[in-house]
Amino acid sequence: MEPNLIDMKQRLTHVSIKKYLKDTYGVVRHTPWKLRSASDVVAKRYGCKNLQIFFFMIEDRPIDYLHTHSYGFLTSLGRQIKSEFTQEYNQL
């Protein structure tokens, strides 16, 4: 595992999001506190961890027990989660 990923697993904060995005992609194009807030809201809505929502949105990682992907494509629930996340992010 990458060192920055281990830090993120401990706690999702706007500082750890900024560090992760900078270390992984070299640039931060989104507002870290908005990413965290939207992740918190959507995670609570679907009964999962905010970290799972964050990686689902940023890296398209599946959330297995929610069945967000099928054969590498988003399911209707996966598309719904992405849509709700985008709405929450844009409302902040």
69-81 pLDDT, tens digit each: 999 999 999 999 9
Six-digit token string for 34: 């908005």
- Whole-model pTM: value is 0.90
User: At which residue do the structure tokens 């599946």 appear?
Assistant: 62
Question: Strands (DSSP E) along the chain, which ranges?
Answer: 69-70, 73-74
Residue pair 88/50 in contact (Cβ under 8 Å)? The answer is: no
Low-confidence ranges of the chain (pLDDT < 50): 1
